[in-house]
């Protein structure tokens, strides 16, 4: 069910020209739904707003159970229907007030503790039983925190409808009443985090606990008096424009000045006016847009407080909570004022001609860094020489008279699938919060700002105005590589044709400190080779990635996808995200020389925030996005052991899997030709047509994952060798038919474990996907976790485990089976090594609650105590490159003059 807000020229929608509130309900194919609507006990304002929503739900034919401490007459005076059910319960006391404008902060916190914290366990048990008893389809909260958690425990979706949340309100109270009450705020925020999305009303405060937001116009009660009657009672003439403020329970220190209002407007501040009239739209012009009407029609508390000296911001201790818990380098909420400051400082110098930052904090930070380049960025006295060099190189990279394009691509957390991707498995991948940004500019060679050594090279060769590629990569000081790279684009040509991938691989491999440039520059050669693109302009590229390298979260894929997206955008190429990912895989396979599958690039390009990308790697069919249930959360914990898909172990395991496929095909062919009569107890004459059909399919097996586990066990496992020498395999089977790996004749390869892993992993991933959408229960979480554990030990059997990743998985197991976890119904349920293995990051699944985050922190600290290394923790998600699109920027003329 979704509530949608509209305003159109006829005045129909959530708020029309007469001030009537309308909320439409969709039954999603059902004629009758059951809603559980929880309403805060703080005053009548929420209840009167909810009345109108409830009324329209009932008009649509649905049952609504209202849970509130508000008097019944608030609802029954407006709604007379057998479909309305009232249940008087106080679950949210709100603020304790001495009068309409005076809040007792300490009393409010203590009252909430008595009402909702002390009896929390019994409240949750009661609400879960009640929700199940009424067979609720959706829980709606305005804005009772515990309702969201109860819904999650009952396995029911929940939505909040509000313009403020109690975690933000109580945060201010904590600042005044003492930090020892902060646990109340944490619990409220954690409760809200179970909400699927927020329907946000105008006049909102920052609400950091909610991930997804849908903005709608005002939701108000029906008018009981006409516009004319209200103006007459108030003594307001028809030609006076009117803004009515109702913001009860707030400090009365505001001084309303005439300059705060547009000319000709009158502002009334009165707590009772909302009871008398529908405030907001009864004077608006339908000729203006919805956003403009909202802005002009009413001066709301949030807007009023943003005048000088009244800026609202999230308290520092609140916004820095994640860092305090050790869960990240900065807050996921990102201070509202800091976002605004970053955006303002950027827009003073640049204008965005295309695209949207989507409010992503890392994007705003990257844009701000662009504004600092031309001004000469001071990196500090203690900065590394290489860091100073890369900043200076970046400062001279762009021609500020020309347009700049910016793209963004995240890393990924391998939830399930991993190395089975190259065998055709279903994989489930989550784009992480950390991402790579690329800024690119194409200019005519005559306008290109060349570095001095590039100028000298062109002069020595007599090639004036030759297209040149210049790249600056931030963070080189962390990974022992050169911060800059440049080349003539003609170096990618061999006569009239692009050079071969093999030649390009050798070109970038010559200098180890420059090999990183293959991930960036390789995108240009792939576009030339695969799409026939010719590059006649010079290209400048700035790469800034926050995806840590060597941790198994696809830092390379994020660079490739961001770069390919940037080159495509700046050259007017339209490439859909799937095809773009496949092109990026060619960069990594053929130019970098790493034999990875495609899931990394596909997730970075096609993923969406807070969802798992489901893809069948045959070769790359995205079958959909899987919602992460509200009660489930994923983390990544870095082992500190550097991971690389270019490593020998990953490559040998891949070769072993392809060897196994070739041998299985050969066995199936032999069975069909009767050269292996009665093999494994099977008599060909007894198989029948269906059995022969299966054998024929297995004799031409295109992907190993298309072989089911039971067929593998029934026919092939006993015939596969545990190990096989490379030259022995080639003598018998000629080749393994993998285009990106080469068999070493003198190496002994594991076969049975690498072949078994993708066959069973494909089954595990399918089971995992089905379980995610099943009914919420401890058994569900336990089964999901068990599948992760099985995957981890299958990696180890292939030889891709490490002491570090094994230790992390063991720590999660110890946490899961501890007495504390068992008494609290458990919080962590499973863990596995990710991606290519041989180090990197471990994926952990747990219950989406505050205690889980605390246990992740404990795992982090225990790992540090045992190894001396403090793991980086990945938490959160962000959109893929396809969803982000691109930004096109231009320097403002005033900035150029300065």
- Contact at 8 Å (CB) between 223 and 20? yes
Q: Give the Cα-Cα-Cα angle 511, 384, 332 (nearest 5 degrees).
A: 100
Cα of 357 vs its chain's centroid, Å: 14
Q: Look at residues 182, 444, 432 and name the one whose alpha carbon lies nearest to residue 318.
A: 182
Cα of 767 vs its chain's centroid, Å: 23
Residue 250 burial by Cβ neighbours in a 10 Å radius (0-12, 13-18, 19+): middle
Q: Look at residues 847, 629, 775, 627 and name the one whose alpha carbon lies nearest to residue 132.
A: 775
DSSP assignment letter at 114: I
Query: What angle, rounded to 10 degrees, do the helices at 166-177 and 105-112 form?
Result: 120
The CA distances from residue 135 to 63, 68, 126, 601, in Å, are 11, 19, 14, 42
- Contact at 8 Å (CB) between 527 and 521? no
Please tell me which residue in 153, 600, 649, 738 is annotated as part of the active site: 600
875: which residues sit within 8 A by CB, 6+ positions away?
Answer: 322, 327, 328, 332, 433, 633, 635, 636, 853, 856
- Residue 151 token pair: 């819904």
In whole angstroms, what is the distance from residue 322 CA to residue 337 CA? 18
Query: What angle, rounded to 10 degrees, do the helices at 361-373 and 336-349 form?
Result: 40
In whole angstroms, what is the distance from residue 394 CA to residue 392 CA? 5
Q: Look at residues 884, 897, 761 and name the one whose alpha carbon lies nearest to residue 407.
A: 884
In whole angstroms, what is the distance from residue 565 CA to residue 440 CA? 10
- Residue 753 token pair: 């474990």
Q: Give the Cα-Cα-Cα angle 732, 738, 743 (nearest 5 degrees).
A: 55
Q: Look at residues 642, 601, 598 and name the one whose alpha carbon lies nearest to residue 620.
A: 598
What DSSP assignment string belongs to 368-403? Answer: HHHHHHTT-----TT--HHHHHHHHHHHTT--TTS-
- Partnered with residue 828 across adjacent β-strands are 846
In whole angstroms, what is the distance from residue 607 CA to residue 587 CA? 20
Q: Look at residues 246, 283, 278 and name the one whose alpha carbon lies nearest to residue 262.
A: 283
- Partnered with residue 242 across adjacent β-strands are 266
In whole angstroms, what is the distance from residue 420 CA to residue 122 CA? 45
In whole angstroms, what is the distance from residue 732 CA to residue 728 CA? 6
In whole angstroms, what is the distance from residue 420 CA to residue 819 CA? 36
In whole angstroms, what is the distance from residue 275 CA to residue 223 CA? 10
- Residue 399 token pair: 């021609």
Say if strands 632-638 and 873-874 run parallel, antiparallel, or are unpaired. antiparallel
In whole angstroms, what is the distance from residue 174 CA to residue 196 CA? 27
In whole angstroms, what is the distance from residue 46 CA to residue 453 CA? 68
In whole angstroms, what is the distance from residue 561 CA to residue 409 CA? 6
600 is catalytic: yes
- Residue 380 token pair: 């500090």
Q: Which residues are catalytic?
A: 600
């Amino acid at each position: 069910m979704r509530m949608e807000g509209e305003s159109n020229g006829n005045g129909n929608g959530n708020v029309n020209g007469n001030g009537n509130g309308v909320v439409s309900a969709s039954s999603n194919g059902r004629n009758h739904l059951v809603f559980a609507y929880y309403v805060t006990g703080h005053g009548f304002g929420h209840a009167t707003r909810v009345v109108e929503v409830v009324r329209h739900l009932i008009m649509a034919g649905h049952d609504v159970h209202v849970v509130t401490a508000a008097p019944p007459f608030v609802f029954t005076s407006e709604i007379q229907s057998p479909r309305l059910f009232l249940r008087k319960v106080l679950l949210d006391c709100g603020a304790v007030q001495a009068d309409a404008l005076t809040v007792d902060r300490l009393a409010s916190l203590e009252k909430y503790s008595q009402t909702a914290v002390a009896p929390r366990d019994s409240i949750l048990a009661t609400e879960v039983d009640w929700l199940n008893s009424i067979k609720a389809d959706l829980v709606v909260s305005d804005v009772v925190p515990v309702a969201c958690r109860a819904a999650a425990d009952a396995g029911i979706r929940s939505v909040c409808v509000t313009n403020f949340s109690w975690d933000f309100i109580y945060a201010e109270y904590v600042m005044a009443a003492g930090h020892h009450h902060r646990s109340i705020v944490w619990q409220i925020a954690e409760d809200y985090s179970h909400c699927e999305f927020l329907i946000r009303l105008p006049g909102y405060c920052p609400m950091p606990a909610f991930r997804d937001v849908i903005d709608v116009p005002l939701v108000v009660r029906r008018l009981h008096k006409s516009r004319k009657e209200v103006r007459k009672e108030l003594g307001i003439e028809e030609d006076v424009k009117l803004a009515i403020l109702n913001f009860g329970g707030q400090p009365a220190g505001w001084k309303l000045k005439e300059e705060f209002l547009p000319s000709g407007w009158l502002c009334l501040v009165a707590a009772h006016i909302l009871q008398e009239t529908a405030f907001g739209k009864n004077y608006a012009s339908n000729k203006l847009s919805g956003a403009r009407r909202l802005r002009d029609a009413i001066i709301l508390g949030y807007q009023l407080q943003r005048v000088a000296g009244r800026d609202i911001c999230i308290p520092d201790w609140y916004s820095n909570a994640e860092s305090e818990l050790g869960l990240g380098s900065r807050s996921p909420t990102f201070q509202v004022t800091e976002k605004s400051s970053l955006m303002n400082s950027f827009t003073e110098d640049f204008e965005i001609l295309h695209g949207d930052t989507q409010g992503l904090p890392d994007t705003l930070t990257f844009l701000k860094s662009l504004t600092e380049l031309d001004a000469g960025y001071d990196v500090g006295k203690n900065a590394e020489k290489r860091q100073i060099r890369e900043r200076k190189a970046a400062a001279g990279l762009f021609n500020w008279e020309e347009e700049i394009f910016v793209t963004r691509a995240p890393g990924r957390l391998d939830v399930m699938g991993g190395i089975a991707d190259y065998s055709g498995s279903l994989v489930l991948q989550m784009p992480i919060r950390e991402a790579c940004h690329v800024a690119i500019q194409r200019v005519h060679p005559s306008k290109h700002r060349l570095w001095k050594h590039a100028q000298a090279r062109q002069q020595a060769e007599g090639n004036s105005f030759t297209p040149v590629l210049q790249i600056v990569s931030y963070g080189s000081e962390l990974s022992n590589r050169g911060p800059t790279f440049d080349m003539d684009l003609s170096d990618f040509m061999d006569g009239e044709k692009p050079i071969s991938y093999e030649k390009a691989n050798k070109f970038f491999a010559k200098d180890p400190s420059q090999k990183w440039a293959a991930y960036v520059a390789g995108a240009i050669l792939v576009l030339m080779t695969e799409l026939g693109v010719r590059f006649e302009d010079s290209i400048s590229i700035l790469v800034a990635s926050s995806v840590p390298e060597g941790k198994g979260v696809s830092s390379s894929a994020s660079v490739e996808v961001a770069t390919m997206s940037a080159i495509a955008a700046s050259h007017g190429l339209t490439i859909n995200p799937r095809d773009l990912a496949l092109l990026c895989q060619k960069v990594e396979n053929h130019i970098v020389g790493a034999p990875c599958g495609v899931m990394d690039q596909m997730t970075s390009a096609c993923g969406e925030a807070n969802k798992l990308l489901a893809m069948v790697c045959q070769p790359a069919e995205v079958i959909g996005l899987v919602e992460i249930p509200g009660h489930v959360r994923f983390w990544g914990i870095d082992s500190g052991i550097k991971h690389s898909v270019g490593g020998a172990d990953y490559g040998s395991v891949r070769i072993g899997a392809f060897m196994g496929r070739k041998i299985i095909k050969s066995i199936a062919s032999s069975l069909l030709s009767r050269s292996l009569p009665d093999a494994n107890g099977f008599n060909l004459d007894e198989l029948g047509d269906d059995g022969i059909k299966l054998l024929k399919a297995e004799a031409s097996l295109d992907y190993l994952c298309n072989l089911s586990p039971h067929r593998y066990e029934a026919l092939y496992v006993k015939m596969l060798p545990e190990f096989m020498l490379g030259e022995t395999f080639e003598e018998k089977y000629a080749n393994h038919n993998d285009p990106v790996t080469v068999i070493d004749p003198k190496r002994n390869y594991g076969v049975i474990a690498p072949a078994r892993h993708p066959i069973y992993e494909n089954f595990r991933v399918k089971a995992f996907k089905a379980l995610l959408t099943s009914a919420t229960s401890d058994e569900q979480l336990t089964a999901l976790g068990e599948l992760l554990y099985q995957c981890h030990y299958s990696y180890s059997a292939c030889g891709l485990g490490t002491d570090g990743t094994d230790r992390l998985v063991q720590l999660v197991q110890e946490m899961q089976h501890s007495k504390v976890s068992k008494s609290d119904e458990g919080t962590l349920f499973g863990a596995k090594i990710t991606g290519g293995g041989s180090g990197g990051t471990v994926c952990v699944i747990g219950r989406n609650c505050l205690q889980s985050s605390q246990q992740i922190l404990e795992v982090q600290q225990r790992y540090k105590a045992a190894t001396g290394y403090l793991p980086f923790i990945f938490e959160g998600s962000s959109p893929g490159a396809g969803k982000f699109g691109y930004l096109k920027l231009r320097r403002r003329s005033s900035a150029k003059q300065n």
